[in-house]
A = this chain, B = another copy of it.
Amino acid sequence: MRNLKITIQYNGANYCGWQKQPDSLGIQGTIERAIYEITKEQVKITGSGRTDAGVHALGQVANLKLESKIPYTQIPNALNAKLPKDISIIECCEVEEEFHSRYSAKGKRYRYLIYNSPYRNPIYKDISYHVKYDLDFEKMKKEAKSLIGAHDFKGFMSSGSSVVDTVRTIYDITLSKNENLIIMEVEGNGFLYNMVRIIAGTLVDIGRGRINECLADVIESKSRSNCGHTAPAHGLFLKKVDY
């Protein structure tokens, strides 16, 4: 059977997240339904990871086993014609049978958008975290560097996760600013549950002066309560999955 890798963009605003829920298809189920409409095959697609309700993607990856002989180059347009406008297939290729979008992943890159202004922005409202308070951007940028490397990120994990090994390696984190928009990008070999949103929330709390400890000490403490708040889902984008 063919194994196909697809790259997906979505605006998560109107979805319960990647995964199907009892009363809702999710991104995954919506794509599976579109595949069925084209091929009449009931396939299960496997994502590189779940994204929560409201989280967006610029490069989510999934794979699927298909009988249909439809040329892979035609799949993005064929699926996009069936999918709602807030989901888009931007790439499709044939991969070896062993390829698994989750287990084969070597790393991921996320983007988090913070809109820093006393007043809301109607253009960015659904795709960024609006922070009204003054943020010390230079301090956030400097402190963020402490995240780079292999650390036990136990404090940066929401409760409810069954993960035991909480050591992860951050390869890179950058913060840039374009007018009122702060763009954080972080790349690592893997992320704990809500880790990127807790990193964003902690950096906001540092920038606002609510956390005065240096970030290296916060990480070292391995304590969720020493970290900052969990920044909202709608500022988060899964940008890229590396294989």
Contact = CB atoms under 8 A, between A and B. Distances in A.
Interface residues of A, number: 24
A31 interface: no
A63 interface: no
B76 A123 contact: no
Contact of A120 (B88, B125, B237): B88
A71 interface: no
A58 interface: yes
Interface string A106-140: 00000000000111111101010000000000000
Most buried by B among A9, A87, A117, A123: A123
A197 interface: no
A85 B119 contact: no
A117 B76 CA distance: 12
Nearest to A120: B88
Interface string A23-65: 0000000000000000000000000000000001010000000
6 contacts: A11-B122, A76-B118, A77-B119, A88-B121, A89-B119, A90-B119
